[in-house]
Amino acid sequence: MSEPARPVEMRVGSATDGLAPLSVAERSLAASLTEWLALAAIALSAIAADQATKRLVSARLQLDEGLHVVGPFWIHHVRNSGIAFGLFASATAAVIVLTGLAVAWMLGYFARSGARHPVLPVALGLVIGGSVSNLLDRVRLGYVTDFLDFRYWPAFNLADSFIVIGVGILLAALVAAEREPRPSRHVRDAPPRR
């Protein structure tokens, strides 16, 4: 009995990688218009939500005033001129410059690689939106308004939450991409070769 015919592997090109099968030929990973629109919608929504909640807290609560919600959760109006945990409180100008550079880098990365993974518009949209919202406050006011307070953790705001969630989505996508791909159902259900 003869062995079944193997599929022909097509090889193209004369470059050094010309022996690569056509199935792994490179495609552009640049962000498409749809991906840019998704990123913009998510970033603008994050900015709007963060700015609205900060204004509401500032209008309803005096500075350092708190409102108990449930358990350890409080709405506590505080100002933070630094970054996470109040670090670099006396270096507002440096924080502004570094945040601006980070946002510019993320936009450049997205322009080149926005089509790399379907979660990139969401994840980077959240990170960029949160970063820009806090950046706007630092430029305009010299501080950010924090108000979500669990008592055992320094107070934070929605922009901080969006940044953490966006980074978490990126990390989850990286971990998922590193996993060994599962064989397709067709391969699993095929009878063993003899």
Give the DSSP H/E element, type plus range, for residue 141: helix 120-141
pLDDT score, position 94:
84
Using one digit for the tens of pLDDT, what is the confidence trace for 57-84?
999 999 999 999 999 999 999 998 877 6
- What is the rounded (10 degree) CA torsion for 27, 32, 34, 40? 130
pLDDT score, position 85:
62
Using one digit for the tens of pLDDT, what is the confidence trace for 104-158?
999 999 999 888 889 999 999 999 999 999 999 999 998 999 999 999 999 999 9
- Please give the average per-residue pLDDT across 42-59, as a whole number: 98
pTM: 0.76
135 burial class (0-12, 13-18, 19+ CB within 10 angstroms)?
Answer: buried
CB 151 within 8 A of CB 71: no
pLDDT score, position 72:
95
The residues, any chain, with a CB within 8 Å of residue 91's CB and separated by 6 or more, are 82
In the sheet that holds 66-70, the strands lie side by side as 66-70, 73-80, 144-149
pLDDT of 15 > 80? The answer is no
Cα–Cα–Cα angle for 73, 78, 81, nearest 5°? 130
Catalytic, out of 50, 137, 146, 149:
146
146 catalytic? Reply is: yes
Catalytic, out of 50, 137, 149, 160:
160
Domain locations in the chain? 30-178
